[in-house]
Chain A
């Protein structure tokens, strides 16, 4: 336990997410923490990371953090700019994108994701959320999926109210039965730690806690009985370099050249 951490929980989450991106892979990026993490990775350990935004910008290299998936600098710096039908049909659908980076309003024990409605009645929801966007097909067709989301009981629920994007369905073998070709969520990175699906049950299990976070805190922020991996790790804290680059990057958010 550090008494006065020199980084925030969100910074730890973003750094952990960036570390999950290997150099040279292609990554389908959404706005928010995924985009920040991907741009951090490109400036640190993964200079050859290929950023694909659903606006059709392939290999974007933004100098500033974009505020939307369609900022002009994404088009100006991309290897190629393609139409929206093309990005989904030619690039995402055949499995050319290695990693899909998703957020969630709700996520359940099998890493199924809800971004559509909160509440049991779709026609009369408690909260109407933005909806699917590109997520269902990103979750289906990327080689693997990484979810980045802050951990709380409101978000980490036993069962999502609406399956917008399929994680591991109702358990082992479900993705294959549904004909989903990617591996699905392999990692859920939160502000408290990292969860990975148990290889036998597909249930999300706590595999790493961030520095200063206890297992109890993580369990308290989870709406199911969160199991803990036998070889539970502690996430290495952000390095000075990671923090410096991240903070510099955050300061560029929305800058337009």
Chain B
């Protein structure tokens, strides 16, 4: 059964130097508060896995937490490039970053294989692209029934998955709705999981289109209201588009980034109680 802990406690207990960590959330429900806590706790040499390493991974990479990135699209959505990511890949700043690059379909299927307890996934993908030579673990596989040649990619099995959700009950059953992305697969593929939530309630109310991660499939739940900001939590907050735009200038400059890191991450206590300024509680209204 999942235990309910503070965010700082959850990150300290589950995320260790050298771990493979998957923080997921496809534009929606991105676990920013947890990412900032990982930075604050000074984790190093992480292999970061994420389909869309956007601003949150730019911040982790710029803070020197990562040794390797496994991904399929790295950009600031709707704005442009990730400059901390580019600086790490191009100049090794602040530390060199190894990359392993896939397509979205490949990454999604790698999570599905991990969640399914299979060693690899099969898909129609990658054929004819230069990704095949750039990435070692994209291999052809012949269908034993038809002889057709398809593509195999290995399962993702992160040490820990971190996702943000709308709510859990006191037993740690987690409810997620809206765009659910690949969070369920990431949690089930990983050895351990931390779910941060907007609220903890006595009983999960029925919610159309919601998925539930049962308490026994989750390791730790931590309250983190507003913890997806500047992304959003459907029903609780709206996307802070200005933040994504502002990130471009901050991230272009190492010094501006360092100042941001001090002001917004290190000098800030755990944001479990605060960060509600950008949220509008629509649920139950």
Contact = CB atoms under 8 A, between A and B. Distances in A.
B112 interface: yes
A178 B125 CA distance: 11
A173 interface: no
Given A81-B178, A89-B109, A130-B73, A137 B26 contact: no
B198 interface: no
Contact of B127 (A31, A85, A130, A179): A179
B149 A179 contact: yes
B241 A67 contact: yes
Given A31-B77, A85-B109, A132 B179 contact: no
Interface centre among A54, A88, A179, A181 (most CB of B within 10 A): A88
B127 A140 contact: yes
Interface stretch (A163-171, A208-216, A226-234): A163-171
A84 interface: yes
Contacts of A157: none
A55 interface: yes
B178 A137 contact: no
Interface string A60-92: 000000011111101100000101110011001
A55 B179 contact: yes
Given A81-B179, A130-B75, A131-B74, A178 B104 contact: no
B27 A68 contact: yes
Interface centre among A55, A85, A128, A129 (most CB of B within 10 A): A85
Contacts of A81: 178-180, 209
A172 interface: no
B78 A83 contact: no
Interface string B124-141: 111111110010000000
B85 A70 contact: no
A81 B149 CA distance: 31
B128 A132 contact: no
A162 interface: yes
Interface residues of A, number: 50
Interface string A10-53: 00000000000000000000010000000000000000000000
B103 A133 contact: yes
A84 B108 contact: yes
Interface centre among B86, B104, B185 (most CB of A within 10 A): B104
A54 B104 contact: yes
A141 interface: yes
A133 to B, nearest CB: 4
Given A81-B209, A85-B185, A166-B128, A68 B78 contact: yes
Given A83-B180, A83-B185, A89-B108, A137 B89 contact: no
26 contacts: A31-B78, A56-B180, A67-B239, A68-B77, A70-B26, A75-B178, A84-B26, A84-B51, A84-B104, A85-B109, A85-B185, A88-B105, A89-B123, A93-B105, A93-B124, A122-B134, A130-B81, A133-B72, A133-B73, A133-B104, A134-B103, A135-B103, A137-B123, A162-B134, A166-B128, A179-B124
Interface of A: 31, 54-57, 67-72, 74-75, 81, 83-85, 88-89, 92-93, 116, 122, 124-125, 128-137, 140-141, 162-166, 169, 174, 178-181, 254, 256
